[in-house]
Structure 1
């Protein structure tokens, strides 16, 4: 198991990585469905914290596998079998999502997370044994991941006994999350791993598409729920259609930047770029839940108020745009999406739910989609104007007859 070169040509996602991602489709679908259930029941804020906690576990497990694979994807028998162990952990975690988000029962989620970490630690130990140049880095990863995983197990055991309630609550969760995020920063202080910038950019793009697909799936579930009444109403058509337009616009904005080149030139910003995607990914998952309930309420009543449904779509969309602009700015010389345009669009989106009692949920979703489409159009036109101006500056100037 030797480190793969950072400039390997034509490095793309392997079939095993794509298979691995399918397990996360199940996990994300489960956590999104539970958030949608909370929103529909009128207690979306109460369901938000469990959603963010479980989604962090999903996202962090995917992150760890992705960056390790970018450095050490040998694709031999041992690598494949240990990847299968991690896949089993993801599916176990997904099975425990309803209990975790609905009843604060994290037994199955914790078990799934531990299984994933066992597979990952084994991979790092193998890398430490076989890659002498980065042995210290690999062993640091293995030791730190094991210690933090032990912390999650102790948190669960203490919660079961009822002792030290503060340690089993949100504060301990935040502390352990910070420790998880600090592991790569500390482990790579000795020597950095050989991650491939274009491979990483592609992997993040693929996971973004997975989350957009989950939002489409969630909206489809909402359509099924709305059609239980046996009627196809105008609000249903408007919300479903505009939801698709909204997701397409968000996809368009994400892929305006080819992040591989930027990561190659700015490898020191990879941590901020990678960690910043938690906001993008979580916002997309939450947006799917909001669209699902917005579509569903067009067919029959839900406990949530119209304003709450408007915010369930507007807030994730706004957070996505802010996080996307911040992540793009880390790897580009000049911002592709102008900050003023992002600020204006986000301000519009977040103010629209205030009008929900008067214009309805369908009109609010349509206006949010229109705002994002306008942002895409402004960005494209601004880029075109800038390209023409750059071409004129680079064009040779004609020489006058007097100068000749």
Structure 2
């Protein structure tokens, strides 16, 4: 009898993230670095759009792999080998990012499709002796990946100016898959009950990716600062970037990550929370960190003047991050509304838009203001959630 490759559930170590998964994540440290450097090198409306496409592709590869390793045991040799092959594809894809809309479009698309299609095909083989519902789930995912792959490859073969149109269709298909429950004629549709994920593992995996993004932000800040003359303005920009990263960590990890962890771990339908809160919403959080890292570097390098797109990064990064966290906490923690502290932070940054684009603030001052807003949000939420409930007189 073939030994199952599924994770064992219910034990003390069942939801633990394995060392092989952390090793796999190193590829995505490189990918995040490539994305931030790519946006910095092409800081324009088209650069923003292209980076958004590439971020979604990188995230989709990573989060779908996290779903697979949630079901399959990465300590088993076949699963380990599959992850090593995925690492090869991830490195090729990451190395192609700077020229994905140039000379390496086909390499990027081929690596992406190979991972997105190869992963569910491997899973189909891995669960061949399991229940029909589980086999059907991976078969449907493979069909959707193959359909989207046609457009990814077509875009890779197309002229660079037409590539984004093909890839837009491909990305829409990829994003629609989980939302449409991977419905396939003749194979039916999945349900969130089929996605019996280990909530503890999913929450920890996504938290680790947030750490990857924040770590890359610190690396960018440190590398930029080390190559500059250490003037008063440079020290202020360096301090602002560091405090901003700490505030981002606090906003996500102080209460939100653990509350989400507890909610999905004890949910009767963890697949529903994993799909919305962790698969879709978390990309906003990751994108906010990456864009904020670009903004911090711009504030250090161009403290007095920057472009329209640069100002957009200084405002857009914190907006994406606060919006992502607000939605995550709203969806995953049974809140009647998003956190008031996050909504106020968003309103303050939105109110800065006319003054920022009117050049009333220098890039350095603007990034210091957005850092103060992040600190305000972090402190407000921390104090509000730890305030003792009012006493009720008998």
Aligned to 1:401: none
Which residue is equivalent to 1:174? 168
CA distance in 1, matches of 2:195, 2:292: 34
Q: In the aligned structure 2, how far is the partner of 1:118 from the partner of 1:87?
A: 15
The answer to whether the 8 Å contact 2:329/2:335 transfers is no
User: How far is 1:365 from its partner?
Assistant: 1.5
The structure that has the greater radius of gyration is: 1
Give every structure 1 segment of 4 or more consecutive aligned residues whose post-TM-superposition deviation is greater than 4 Å: 5-8, 353-356
Q: 1:277 maps to what in 2?
A: 282
For the 8 Å contact 2:213–2:289, the answer to whether it is kept is: yes
Match of 1:400 in 2: none
User: Which residue of 1 is the match for residue 32 of structure 2?
Assistant: 28
Question: What aligned pairs does 1:192-271 form with structure 2 within 5 A after superposition?
Answer: 192-225=194-227, 227=228, 231-255=229-253, 256-257=255-256, 258=258, 259-263=260-264, 264-265=266-267, 267=270, 268-271=272-275
TM-score, length of structure 1 as denominator length: 0.84
Q: Which residue of 2 aligns with 1:109?
A: 108
Distance 1:110 1:49, change over 3 A: same
Range 316-325 or range 135-144, more displaced: 135-144
Give 3-state SS (helix, strand or coil) of 2:42's partner: helix
**Residue deviations 1:183-230, cap 9 Å, x none?**
3422523961331001100000000010011111222233245x1xxx
Q: 1:4 aligns with which of 1, 7, 13?
A: 7
CA–CA distance in structure 2, aligned partners of residues 211 and 109 of structure 1? 21
Residue in structure 1 matched with residue 18 of structure 2 by the alignment: 14
Does the residue aligned with 2:334 lie in a helix, a strand or coil?
A: coil
Q: Distance in 2 between matches of 1:322 and 1:190?
A: 25
Indicate the structure whose relative CO is greater, using CA pairs within 8 Å and at least 6 residues apart.
1
Structure 1 residues 31 and 296, CA, compared in 2 at 3 Å: closer, same or farther? same
Residue 130 (str. 1) matches residue 135 (str. 2): no
What SS is found at the alignment partner of 1:195?
coil
Q: CA deviation at 1:241?
A: 0.5
Q: In 2, Cα distance between the equivalents of 1:332 and 1:284?
A: 22
Partner Cα distance (1:17, 1:361) in 2 = 39
- Give the TM-score normalised by the residue count of structure 2: 0.86
Contact 1:107 1:156 in 2 (8 A): yes
Asked whether the 8 Å contact 1:31–1:55 carries over to 2, the reply is: yes
Contact 1:87–1:116, Cα closer than 8 Å, also in 2: no
Separation of aligned partners in 2, 1:312 and 1:235:
20
Alpha carbons 2:252, 2:325 under 8 Å: kept: yes
CA RMSD between the two structures? 2.6
Q: 1:114 to 1:333 in 2, by over 3 A?
A: closer
Q: Is the 8 A contact 1:7 1:196 kept in 2?
A: no
The 1:233–1:198 alpha-carbon spacing in structure 2 relative to 1, beyond 3 Å, is same
Count matched residues: 372
Please state how far the C-alpha of 1:360 moved relative to its aligned partner: 2.1
Q: How does 1:154-165 map to 2 (within 5 A)?
A: 154-157=154-157, 159-160=158-159
Cα drift, residue 336 of structure 1: 9.3
The offset of 1:128, in angstroms, is 3.6
Higher deviation after alignment, 17-26 or 364-373: 364-373
Q: Distance in 1 between matches of 2:334 and 2:378?
A: 20
- Gaps of at least 5 residues in structure 1 are 398-404
Residue 377 of structure 1: aligned partner = 379
Match of 2:186 in 1: none
